[in-house]
Amino acid sequence: MSCVRGSIHVIESNEKYENYFKKLDMKIIRFFYDCFSFFESIDCNIQLLFACKRVTKDQFKLRPFN
């Protein structure tokens, strides 16, 4: 599912997504959206992009670029 090194990994859907995002630093959230835009611009895996947009149902873990 990864297009580039340091991709976003989808974690099992879970009702506690709100708490997960609340714990994230604003900078990390911005990093998430910046990376997402980058993946979208290089036409990454469509399923992964769709999952990333569904933040009301999915929870995500970020892994920094190396």
pLDDT at 30 over 50: yes
Span 8-36, mean pLDDT? 51
Give the percent of the chain with pLDDT over 70: 0
3-class DSSP assignment, residue 36: helix
N-to-C CA span, the chain: 18
The model's pTM: 0.23
Q: Which helix (DSSP H) or strand (DSSP E) does residue 23 occupy?
A: helix 17-23
pLDDT for residue 46 is more than 50: no
Task: Pick 14 or 57 by higher pLDDT.
Answer: 14
Three-state secondary-structure class, residue 15: coil
